[in-house]
Every structure is written in structure tokens, then in C-alpha cells.
Amino acid sequence: MSSSSSCGVSPSVRTQILNPISSRFFAPSRINFQPRSKCEMINRRGFALKGIVASGVSVMGSSLTSEPVQGVERLPFKPDGYNFWTWRGRKIHYVVQGEGFPIVLIHGFGASAFHWRYNIPELAKNYKVYAIDLLGFGWSEKAIIEYDAMIWRDQVVDFLKEVVKEPTVLVGNSLGGFTALVAAVGLPEQVVGLALLNSAGQFGDTKAKTTESEETFLQKFVLKPLKEVFQRVVLQVLFWQAKQPTRIESVLKNVYINTSNVDDYLVESIKMPADDPNAGEVYYRLMTRFMLNQTEYTLDSFLSKLTCPLLLLWGDLDPWVGPAKANRIKEFYPNTTLVNLKAGHCPHDEVPELANKALVDWLSTIAKKASSLQTV
């Protein structure tokens, strides 16, 4: 049985954010924004320049003094991170707080566990809350590997098996939402609930036909290497530009509905993961190999295998992953509860008090069902 509810606040600014899986990006606008029925592709320069701070807007700095959202407790920042788990020889960062039924929070593209800064303390009052940094992001290792959606699925599945070790609810935003979905399908015996917040991913095009032609000698050994060299040089320059504090602040003020959340320590802290020696190479690989090659994995192919209850916690003012997508997911997967919020791409951080309430209300029913199954 699916249900629908609505709660929200009126924002002063609309937000356009990256949809990583479909290689779309935002073109922020403060004045006279007109919703579009179809998303537009942007040029590679804008995509690469702003990508670093598109979703990674909530990692907190250490010594700067801005006030948290009034009335909402904020996760304390630790410059060296909280906890680390070794996965396939790589260092993985995660936060854990509270006791009780476990929840695992998964951040979006460019973000980290600290993107859940206003959710972890509140949820931890009743649940055991984990927030994990995906490989290549946040305080986790910037591994020089070929990134693929299944890498993060395997990471989350192994985290559930080795660290959590109990029936769990997965909660994911943007890229983290798609990761949570594929992980839930990959470990159905342990994932008893799934919450997606403006999830990345796209439905498959059944009419599309893929044709592959054999590369010529000129294409394979001359044109392709030249293209890769050009991409690398351009993206290195754009990555350096994108992580400058003034540029980060400029982008953030267009991304967040309430720009009072764009403060000094926020800007300073976003720079921290980007200063890792391997961050530039990871960025290059994500931009050229992962972000532009995601048609292999579709929402419908995984939703058709999902077996647990689904919550869609959706920021309706996100034009790139807007309410039409949430409605389509709900129509495709009937065991869905849809909650609409007047927010952009990251409702958990933009309107945390509303997102927390919606999550707690839904989680209470999931936890009861899971407990009853364990006692049978």
C-alpha cells in the first residue's frame, strides 16, 4: 500500500543540482526561475568546474565559528574523522552514534558523512546511526581505481555484513540514493527498508538501440589518446579553480535555498577532501569514466528486484531530479511512501527538521516490523 504526504517551507531561492548518474548539472538562478519540462545538457567546462562542490556542501570545518541551524543539533566536526574501517585494503571513514535499530546514511556526489550533520544527532536519539564515506569521497581513501556504481554497492554491502551485522535501513541522497538502491537489491536478507532523497539514476530507454562499431587504427591510436590528454589538462585546471574558497562560496550561495548556511567553516571544510594528493586524479576519473558512462545501470532494472518498503523523501524544487521522477518511481514500485518537501536537491540538509520528522515517522513502522520478524 503506497501513501503520500506533504510538508515544507517556502524557500527564497530555487536550486538546481547535479544528477550524477545522468551526467546533468545545475545552472543556478536566483531571479525569475522558470521550471523546465526537460533537463538540458551543459557544456563540459561548466560541468567540470562546479562538480566538485555540487553536492559536497556540508562537510564541516574545524576552527571556524558559525552557528548551527537554530533548534537543530549538529554533529561535532572532527578534523581527523570519526571511525575507520579497512575494506579491500582501503581506508573507509564512517560515523556511528546512538543505540537501537540501525540506519546507514549514504551521501551524494562530492559530499561525505558530514553532509548528514543535522540528521545524525536527531536520528541517534532513537536509532543506531551510521554514516559512511564512499570510496573516493570525504575522509575515505582517494583510491586510484576505475570507479563504477558496483564498486560502491560492494562497499556498502560489505559494510553491512562486517560492521553493522543486523537488519538495517539504508538512506541515500543523490548518488548515495542510487548506491543504496543497488545495495538493497544486493543484500535483501539484511536491508529491510530503503529511503531515497532526490536519488540519482535514470529509467531505461526501451526504444534505444546501442550499436558498436570497431575502432579504426586512427581512432584508437591517435584521436583517442589526444582526446584523453586534452581532457586531463583541461580538467586539472578546472579542478584547481573549483576548489578555491571564493569559487566554492560563489557556487554554494546559488545552491542552498537559505544562504545563511553558507559560512566560513563550510567553505573551508569543502576544501579539505579536495586537498588530498589523489583528489585531482579521482575527480578526473569520475568526470571522464564514471559520470559519462552510466546507461548500463537503470532505476527500473533495480526497482524490479527490490523487496523492501521504500520511502521517497523528495525536494520538489530540484529541477534536475524533480517530483516527476519521484512520481514515476512510486508508480513503478507500489510499496512506496512519498513525502514531498519544499526544498532542493539535498532536503536533509536544507530543511533538516522536516526531513528528520518524515524519516522518524516512517522508520518507526519499519523498525517495528523488523523486530516482530526477528522474534518469530
Strand residues in 77-151 grouped as ranges (E): 83-87, 90-97, 102-106, 128-132
Stretch 28-49: mean pLDDT: 34
| 232 or 102: which leads in pLDDT | 102
Task: Answer whether residue 255 shows pLDDT above 90.
Answer: no
CATH of the domain at 222: 3.40.50.1820
Report the candidate in 187, 201, 210 with the shortest Cα–Cα distance to residue 333: 201
Q: Is residue 104 a contact partner of residue 92, using CB atoms and an 8 Å limit?
A: no
The pLDDT of residue 287: 79
| 346 or 171: which leads in pLDDT | 171
Lowest mean pLDDT among 158-167, 259-268, 286-295, 314-323: 259-268
pLDDT-derived band at 16, boundaries 50, 70, 90: very low
Angle separating helix axes 245-255 and 264-274, nearest 10 degrees: 120
**Alpha-carbon gap, residue 139 to 183, rounded angstroms:** 21
pLDDT per residue as tens digits for the range 187-223: 999 999 999 999 999 998 755 444 444 555 445 544 4
The pLDDT of residue 294: 63
Angle separating helix axes 224-242 and 44-51, nearest 10 degrees: 50
Nearest 5°: the CA angle 247, 238, 200 is: 85
Report the range out of 243-247, 255-259, 311-315 with the highest average pLDDT. Answer: 311-315
The pLDDT of residue 211: 43
Provide, for the chain, the percentages of residues in helix, strand and coil under a 3-state DSSP scheme, each rounded to the nearest 5: 40, 15, 45
Report the candidate in 87, 183, 96 with the shortest Cα–Cα distance to residue 141: 87
Task: Answer whether residue 180 shows pLDDT above 90.
Answer: yes
Mean pLDDT of the chain: 76
Pairing between β-strand 102-106 and β-strand 128-132 as defined by DSSP bridges: parallel
The pLDDT of residue 207: 54
Lowest mean pLDDT among 6-15, 79-88, 246-255: 6-15
The pLDDT of residue 17: 30
In the structure grid, which three cell numbers stand for residue 356, read together? 528528520
Number of domains in the chain: 1
Query: pTM, whole model, 2 decimals?
Result: 0.77
| 87 or 245: which leads in pLDDT | 87
Residue 310: which domain range? 3-205+214-375
Task: Answer whether residue 327 shows pLDDT above 90.
Answer: yes
Pairing between β-strand 90-97 and β-strand 168-173 as defined by DSSP bridges: unpaired
